[in-house]
Structure 1
Amino acid sequence: MQQSPSSRPWRPGGSAPDSLAGFNDTGLLADVLPAPGQWHPVPDVSDRAFWEAVDASTRQAILQRAEEFRAREWPVLTARGWRDFVDTGNRTRYEDRYFARRRRTVASALAACLTDDPGWHDDVLDGVWLMLEETTWCVPAHDFSAREDGPRLPDPKRPYLDLFAAETGALLAWTLHVLGSRLDERSALVRRRLVDEVRRRILVPQRTVDTWTWFGRSGPVNNWNPWINSNVLTCSLLLDQDRDDLVTTVSRVLEGLDVFVSGYPDDGGCDEGQMYWWRAGASLSECLEQLYDATSGALDGYTLPKVREMARYPHRVHIADDWYVNVGDGPARTEAADTVEPHVLYRFGRRTGDDEVAAHARYMRGEGAVTVPRLSLGRSLFALADRDWAEAPGSPAPLTAQAWWPQTQLLTARETGGQVEGLFVSVKGGHNGESHNHNDIGTVLVSVDGHPALVDAGVAQYTRQHFGPRRYEIWTMRSDYHNVPNVDGHEQLPGSEFRARDVTADLGNDRVDVRLDLAGAYPKDAGLVHWWRQVTFERRKSAHVRWHDEWGLDHEPDSMTLHLITSAEPDLGSGDGGSGSTGTIRVPTPGRALRIEYDASGFRPPVVERIDLDDRRLSGVWGPALWRVALSPSRPGRHGEWSLDLRAEQAD
């Protein structure tokens, strides 16, 4: 077995290494990892004292969810459904059925543990057997062996290890771990076949294939890396029967995770957005927790400073309630159905000693159930097994006053720390080659009393186009649908070379100031020499945001437009058109409104466009529509400036 390189020699009980690569010594891994089959992190169904002690609200939430699924027929997956993606690019018609199988199996497995009822054991058996019978655990959009130039159907001899194949493997491993004895009573074949299929589809490919892009040997990685590795690690720790296989898997997991962490910014910012943090930073934490627990603390990756910063991202981009600052494909509201498990964040905060992280997790959970069934059985099982989590009281949200990520180039700031009431502002720099990128350099988001007013739409239900060459034809990806300018018809372009320049931030108690040059985000044909955007948040007696743009071009422009995306239909007002007249754009929210003032004498009358949202993902966040306001100077010049003043005002 080849020994992996380490950045610093590591010995259990010695000083912690400065990277995850420092733990990757196969000889030492063999000493500290448990014997195959000896990791038992959660109680199984036979521990009736544990399962009967689960609190009533959690029990009710789990059983209600399980009963809702059991009232329906098991979804059928067909060859025609698979080919639908190849033929049309539609993802949801197949994936809705695919994920429904797994959600039901998770809910039924938890119900089976709670009740030890034979009916639930039979339902789990059905779910397990259906998954074992699937030709592939990969979803059509991810299986590159079945694209247009291939067989157009999945090849069982070429298992592709994607996010959801790995997730399925872990679901089956956890199911066997907690319900194996009950499945054995129905047929000894189930255990043997389950282990064989997970080994064939997950463990052997992970140990033998070096060309997976998510693995990290061929370039940058994103959330796929820790997401897949967390599930592979589960499969190996629970199912591998050979010590060398276990050590090899863990070594390769550490190799991949080191690439992920090394490529992450030192500030811990997640350029994929808050939803993807739950499969990026949170999945990394799951990997670290499994390694820590399985080795009795010998492998403690939580000591790395960068890892500690990652844990702080969710609460620092929190606006109020379930609203968060969204960048890229991350939605503005948490998608609690599958990705968000507050216990993962709580455990992350506990391991890193950050009380605010843990408090935000307790706020997200509230006073209700310890966990509810989602797509990840492992996350629910760990939450149920954590007595500290079960007994921890609810908590107010930390509501951080301000945060600045200097490498990610993201600002969040609220009028008063610890309070929802008042203005909340976010400013984004960065570049247009980020993971799940939108062309959004310089965008400004503003909320009033916890309700977004100037917004980023987010992303619709994924199709093939979202990850193909025509991605930036989708309106939600284009800079014309973010709060940034268009010059002579030129929008921002995608690619890491299109980036903010000379970004500075000054954070004080009374005033926050961010300044950046947007010119580098536009093509050369746009002729931008510079486009300085300065956003100043004054917190004094009359809190307001001053947004000032100043530009210089290499030509006299024919047109120039500032777009503003609003969450509600704006009310427009203007002065008499004379010098110094004030125009207003008033964006209502459920409480107060956001009032935007500008010098109307220098602009044409604003144009307001309603954007109907016929996509369930977008409408689930914003409702039936968003609005776009177009502000164009009446005489755009080679050099010029404009200013906006934003403040909260009472509703009519």
Structure 2
Amino acid sequence: MFILTNQKSYLDSLEEVIWQICNEFTWALPAHIQWEELNEDEKLNLYSLYNQQENNNFINKSKKLIDLFAAETAFSLAEIAYLLEKDLSPLILNRIKNEISSRVLLPFSNLKNKYWWENAKMNWAAVCAASVGSAAIYLLNDTKELVFILKRVIKSLTVYLSSFAEDGISREGLAYWNYGFSFYTYFSDLLKKRSGNRINLMNYPEIKNIAHFQQKMFLNDDQIISFSDTPLTFKFRAGFTSKLKEFYPDLNLPELKYKADFHSDDCYRWPHIIRDLFWTRTELFNRQKFNNLDYQEEYSYAEAAKWLFYKNKFDNHKLVIAAKAGNNNEPHNHNDLGSFIYHFAGESFLVDPGSGEYNKDYFGENRYNYIVTSSFGHSTPIIGGEGQLAGKSFCSSGEKISTISNQIIFKFNLEKAYQLDSLRLYQRKFLINRINGHLKISDKFDFNEKLNVVERFVSFFKPEKVADDLVKIQGKKNSILIKYDPILFDFELDSVNFTTHTGKTRTLQLIDFRINAAISSTEFVFEIFPFLEN
């Protein structure tokens, strides 16, 4: 299919790599293997057991475990075998088909095997099912066998679609939207072709809103709204985005210079890379001016997800405000109800810290001991020394969005987000001034007893007090001011280091306004506004 200089050399190397992949003990990630089923003696003798795979239940189960990476590997190898069917040796082609069949397709065809991700309202349902389905489309000629698998695949993909709010919001954040929805789109394209255009999974009515999610999440350049386990910056997949643009011409695309390159994905996922190569249509991006300065006011409220997006331009600089309510049982949940992002002139001054370093503990019982996942690491108040708790019952209520004169008002109650019997009422209200970009935050409390309150804001920039009632957060080029009542509050500053998803250490500034006397009921108001240096 491909004509390359030194083609045989490349093919020889590729066959070596494929052979070694087919030799792997398991295609699943070690973190997903049930190591507790293996006793200590078996762990020590694991390699001596290698030749007894058929007689060893643990090794057998591990080899046939279908997780994200096992499913993706099957998809990738099946696609490579299809594209290079005339170039790869029959031995390699047969090895690919046999390994995919024994590790993925046959286990998935067995209805006795239950996979938790089939009913998971998150990206796993899409990536695993779409990968299994894609491998089946490439390898199975028997229509009955294929249909049997595809019915199970589509059922899982239907569960995945239900993970989105009705407004298309992915509560997992943009990175996981990209992960899950791209694989959904890849499979949809293959299924449409295999079915002779009779089946098109992109025709579901909810798909359009889901496809528009990406453009809502960009702040400026490659900076994004980092709710949930989401990075602070994001390189989008140009091939996948081009395909979405073909379906929905009204999509507003990011600038092409912020596309993912070959090294953007540290897992080097084949389905992304090959589709970036063949699907990217540069002319679609050249007509877009995603970050230009004639940015018009735009705001939207995602009623199902309870997220607010506001974008505008002030003094020739973009302003973005994003705020969220909802519940603390979302996929990749952070206890962050009432938190927000204030982004101006290309810098996020008040932030959501994004995702922490992934490890077993991060997804275990100690998840909310991490600063990035707890409410202590978000711009939310600490009430009576307590933060928010995790669970669906810890939620917002009474959400209301309105426009009065030149203000957008987003308000909701959050007393249910805290496990405090004495907290009768906590209402947070965001008031956005559409003329000058000022943001007022009003917090109203009512307690059964007197309690102390700390109003916390978080930033990656170190703030300083510049007047009795003003705290300045200085960015690299410009700054913002936080105005508060110095009679009620004492200003305190602390910081905490944490490890990001990529393993780097970052320092989060904890900007605290501590009330100087316990209260039983009151309303606090803070005003946040830009301060241009030039």
The answer (yes or no) to whether the contact 1:443–1:484 under 8 Å persists in 2 is: yes
Query: 1:79-119: CA deviations, max 9, x gaps?
Result: xxxxxxxxxxxxxxxxxxxxxxxxxxxxxxxxxxx546222
Report the secondary structure of 1:555's partner residue: strand
- The answer as to 2:293 corresponding to 1:403 is no
Letter in 2 for 1:350: E
Residue 614 of structure 1 deviates from its aligned partner by 4.9
Report the secondary structure of 1:381's partner residue: helix
- In the alignment, which of 123, 127, 133 is matched to residue 13 of structure 2? 123
- The answer as to 2:96 corresponding to 1:194 is yes
Letter in 2 for 1:403: S
Report the secondary structure of 1:378's partner residue: helix
Query: 1:245-291: CA deviations, max 9, x gaps?
Result: 11111111111112222343211100001111112233222232222
Residue 602 of structure 1 deviates from its aligned partner by 0.9
Highest RCO, 1 vs 2 (Cα 8 Å, sep ≥ 6): 1
Residue 505 of structure 1 deviates from its aligned partner by 1.5
Residue 224 of structure 1 deviates from its aligned partner by 0.2
Report the secondary structure of 2:330's partner residue: coil
The answer (yes or no) to whether the contact 2:225–2:322 under 8 Å persists in 1 is: yes
Give me the whole-angstrom Cα distance separating, in 2, the residues matched to 1:225 and 1:135. Answer: 24
- The answer as to 2:171 corresponding to 1:275 is no
- In the alignment, which of 429, 447, 450 is matched to residue 553 of structure 1? 447
Letter in 2 for 1:289: D
| Higher helix proportion | 1
Letter in 1 for 2:524: W
Instruction: State the match for 2:480 in structure 1.
Output: 594
Letter in 2 for 1:402: Y
Cα distance, 1:373–1:624 mapped onto 2, change above 3 Å? closer
The answer (yes or no) to whether the contact 1:327–1:458 under 8 Å persists in 2 is: yes
Report the secondary structure of 1:285's partner residue: helix
Give me the whole-angstrom Cα distance separating, in 1, the residues matched to 2:329 and 2:381. Answer: 19
Cα distance, 1:522–1:157 mapped onto 2, change above 3 Å? closer
Matches of residues 222-621 of structure 1 in structure 2 within 5 Å? 222-334=122-234, 336=235, 340-351=236-247, 353-357=248-252, 359-360=253-254, 362=256, 364-365=258-259, 375-386=268-279, 389-394=281-286, 395-397=288-290, 401-416=298-313, 421-506=317-402, 510-525=406-421, 527-540=422-435, 542-557=436-451, 559-575=452-468, 583-604=469-490, 606-615=491-500, 617=502, 619=504
Cα distance, 1:457–1:116 mapped onto 2, change above 3 Å? same
User: Which deviates more, 548-557 or 376-385?
Assistant: 376-385
- The answer as to 2:532 corresponding to 1:637 is no
Letter in 2 for 1:347: K
User: What are structure 2's unaligned runs of at least 5 residues?
Assistant: 47-57
Letter in 1 for 2:269: S
Please give the TM-score of this superposition, normalised by the length of structure 1.
0.74
Give me the whole-angstrom Cα distance separating, in 2, the residues matched to 1:650 and 1:263. Answer: 41
Residue 179 of structure 1 deviates from its aligned partner by 2.6
The answer (yes or no) to whether the contact 2:343–2:349 under 8 Å persists in 1 is: yes
Instruction: State the match for 2:52 in structure 1.
Output: none
Residue 613 of structure 1 deviates from its aligned partner by 4.1
Cα distance, 1:372–1:476 mapped onto 2, change above 3 Å? closer
Residue 174 of structure 1 deviates from its aligned partner by 1.9
Query: 1:336-360: CA deviations, max 9, x gaps?
Result: 4xxx422212212321x24224x33
Letter in 1 for 2:127: W
Instruction: State the match for 1:215 in structure 2.
Output: 118
Cα distance, 1:491–1:115 mapped onto 2, change above 3 Å? farther
Report the secondary structure of 1:529's partner residue: strand
The answer (yes or no) to whether the contact 2:239–2:277 under 8 Å persists in 1 is: no
Report the secondary structure of 1:279's partner residue: helix
Residue 444 of structure 1 deviates from its aligned partner by 1.5
Instruction: State the match for 1:165 in structure 2.
Output: 70
| Higher strand proportion | 2
Give me the whole-angstrom Cα distance separating, in 2, the residues matched to 1:438 and 1:252. Answer: 31
RMSD: 2.7
Aligned residues: 513
Query: 1:40-92: CA deviations, max 9, x gaps?
Result: xxxx32xx4xxxxxxxxxxxxxxxxxxxxxxxxxxxxxxxxxxxxxxxxxxxx
Letter in 2 for 1:315: Q
Report the secondary structure of 2:86's partner residue: helix
Cα distance, 1:481–1:245 mapped onto 2, change above 3 Å? same
Give me the whole-angstrom Cα distance separating, in 2, the residues matched to 1:241 and 1:553. Answer: 68
Residue 364 of structure 1 deviates from its aligned partner by 4.0
Query: 1:306-335: CA deviations, max 9, x gaps?
Result: 11100111111110111111111112211x
Give me the whole-angstrom Cα distance separating, in 2, the residues matched to 1:496 and 1:486. Answer: 20
Instruction: State the match for 1:80 in structure 2.
Output: none
Letter in 1 for 2:312: E
Residue 533 of structure 1 deviates from its aligned partner by 0.6
The answer (yes or no) to whether the contact 2:231–2:501 under 8 Å persists in 1 is: no
The answer (yes or no) to whether the contact 1:459–1:618 under 8 Å persists in 2 is: no
The answer (yes or no) to whether the contact 1:423–1:647 under 8 Å persists in 2 is: no
Query: 1:445-497: CA deviations, max 9, x gaps?
Result: 10111211101112222110011112111221111111101111111000011
Letter in 2 for 1:179: L
Give me the whole-angstrom Cα distance separating, in 2, the residues matched to 1:312 and 1:469. Answer: 34
Cα distance, 1:148–1:595 mapped onto 2, change above 3 Å? farther
Give me the whole-angstrom Cα distance separating, in 2, the residues matched to 1:126 and 1:594. Answer: 56
Instruction: State the match for 1:64 in structure 2.
Output: none
User: What are structure 1's unaligned runs of at least 5 residues?
Assistant: 1-43, 49-113, 576-582
Letter in 2 for 1:215: E
Letter in 2 for 1:341: R
Cα distance, 1:411–1:634 mapped onto 2, change above 3 Å? same
Cα distance, 1:115–1:431 mapped onto 2, change above 3 Å? farther
Give me the whole-angstrom Cα distance separating, in 2, the residues matched to 1:139 and 1:372. Answer: 17
Give me the whole-angstrom Cα distance separating, in 2, the residues matched to 1:317 and 1:372. Answer: 19
Give me the whole-angstrom Cα distance separating, in 2, the residues matched to 1:148 and 1:415. Answer: 57
Query: 1:603-645: CA deviations, max 9, x gaps?
Result: 11x22112234556264xxx74221111111123110111111
- In the alignment, which of 132, 135, 157 is matched to residue 22 of structure 2? 132
The answer (yes or no) to whether the contact 2:229–2:354 under 8 Å persists in 1 is: yes
Residue 518 of structure 1 deviates from its aligned partner by 1.2
Give me the whole-angstrom Cα distance separating, in 1, the residues matched to 2:531 and 2:265. Answer: 39
Give me the whole-angstrom Cα distance separating, in 1, the residues matched to 2:103 and 2:277. Answer: 29
Give me the whole-angstrom Cα distance separating, in 1, the residues matched to 2:116 and 2:501. Answer: 30
Residue 122 of structure 1 deviates from its aligned partner by 2.2
Letter in 2 for 1:138: A
Give me the whole-angstrom Cα distance separating, in 1, the residues matched to 2:249 and 2:349. Answer: 31
- The answer as to 2:87 corresponding to 1:182 is yes
The answer (yes or no) to whether the contact 1:372–1:380 under 8 Å persists in 2 is: no
The answer (yes or no) to whether the contact 1:423–1:544 under 8 Å persists in 2 is: no
The answer (yes or no) to whether the contact 1:226–1:287 under 8 Å persists in 2 is: no
Matches of residues 38-53 of structure 1 in structure 2 within 5 Å? 44-45=1-2, 48=3
Give me the whole-angstrom Cα distance separating, in 2, the residues matched to 1:128 and 1:299. Answer: 32
Cα distance, 1:262–1:611 mapped onto 2, change above 3 Å? closer
